[in-house]
Chains A and B, each alone.
Chain A
């Protein structure tokens, strides 16, 4: 299996620019998560989807952040406009919910974002 695929792996952008991070979950998985990792705050859940529907976006820091999942095999996390404090590693993760509690969450390799 290919695993969770994220792109880009690294991105350096200037403050004020739009950033789009992409994720392809593991085939067959029906739940998708976006996490952010920083030194100060550790690993934070930003948003998650079940069957392409956003379930909980309470972790999204502010309106500059938005996430979509147009189909079962693709999701995006967009930051517009970006700020230096958005610099972090952004992880996408997926799992298969077996009609109930589900199984293990698998992570992508992360997207390293630096906003200068």
Chain B
């Protein structure tokens, strides 16, 4: 079974600074998707960024980028120029490319605090 591990329960960053959230996963599959979801206090799950395992190029979305290391099974999220609105719980998630019913397996989350 696939597992997703987020070893940082909490992280803090100063406004305008850069922070990196860690995620590792375990799978025997060669093709899959990885995601970062953001959950603000409203509890809504918001997609931040997505990475296809067959793509070598790291995904980027404005201030958000990932460092995808397939061999190491690592998928970290970098937030540049942090803003107060970035404060939220961040979940790393895995999904198989074929089979597995398209379901997401989530990590336990990292609570990000943004300080003035």
Contact = CB atoms under 8 A, between A and B. Distances in A.
A81 B44 CA distance: 27
Interface stretch (A13-21, A60-68, A93-101): A93-101
A105 B108 CA distance: 18
B103 A48 contact: yes
A69 B101 CA distance: 17
Given A42-B108, A104-B50, A48 B44 contact: no
Nearest to B35: A104
Contacts, number: 51
A82 to B, nearest CB: 20
A31 B42 contact: no
A89 B43 contact: yes
B47 A31 contact: no
Q: For chain A, what secondary structure do more than half of its interface residues adopt (helix, strand, loop), or is it mixed?
A: strand
B47 A43 contact: no
A95 B102 contact: yes
Contacts of B45: 91, 93, 107, 110
B95 to A, nearest CB: 8
Nearest to A93: B45
A112 B35 CA distance: 24
B106 interface: yes
A102 B97 CA distance: 8
Contacts of B50: 104
Contacts of A93: 45
Nearest to A106: B47
Contacts of B106: 42-43
B104 interface: yes
A4 to B, nearest CB: 10
Contacts of B91: 43
Interface of A: 31, 33, 37, 42-43, 45, 48, 50, 55-56, 89, 91, 93, 95, 97, 100-102, 104-110, 112
Interface of B: 33, 35, 37, 42-47, 50, 91, 95-98, 101-104, 106, 108-109
